[in-house]
Structure 1
């Protein structure tokens, strides 16, 4: 997987970083924990500027939040809840998950969007209750941008600071990232198989 990510970045440059981070938010095929450190490492070789790397990752990730935000905004709480009732088996999202996310957003509001962008798995889903609550788009983008920038910068700088040491450990990165993907897919299958429809 590491080789695939590196090829995309080398062929498409900053656009490739943005594209991978966008996809990671819409439907996480490759974790940002792999994308951004590798992009930071490529910056040490002079392939890209580290600020461009951070900017591309932030923009791509931020754009990836919008489909979920607009889904929540368009359907509203009851619509998202019905979606979870009818298709929650495949989305691994139950109506109670929707209720819990909405309750958390109501309690913490802006900070939940910003801090949620720093937490794996929550990073994508936090956009839904923000849309459901009709959080103004400008405010949503502002707090999402802060959290996203902190997250992508930390990961990119980690790869950048490792510098040439990254080449020493990159032989371990690909099998580890592949294992992470296998675990995520296995967990998804487990959730689908064991999912039970909640009573209304």
Structure 2
């Protein structure tokens, strides 16, 4: 992750989107162009959204996120692998796209796994954002509403990817990194992020 990359709050509009990512990945894996993918998703209302504009916007967001992983084999895996594997790859895609999620997963989650300190609570999210607000003018300028929404979305992502059993859980589950993703992370030169997936070998 390039640290000159700005912090963006787009997560509030484009959360985890697993179902949408999977539908988009299927079309991408079939070799459709980006424009053709958007067209198909809109025409067939694959996301079941109320307006064409919202479908088109989200389809483009998914395409952008899939391109962020820079790995065709992972795009195919999102389309075809079992749900838990595909969700883990979607988390990696989200991390590649969002410096915020990348740093949270590495400095908070990865650090807990490293120290075998499995407790987790609102305080961890609060501390992470407070530290960022002190260090970064962009994050400091976000409204309280935005910060609250981002915390909720990150917590929801942790539940969707089985790091947490539910929103009220007070400890992290030990996750297992699927080999298809581990191999890709290593070949993409992203080994720094392995602790976020409880992988230390």
- Fold match by TM threshold 0.5: no
TM-score tier (shorter):
under 0.3
Q: Identify, as 1 or 2, the structure richer in helix.
A: 1
**TM-score between both structures, scaled by the size of structure 2:** 0.26
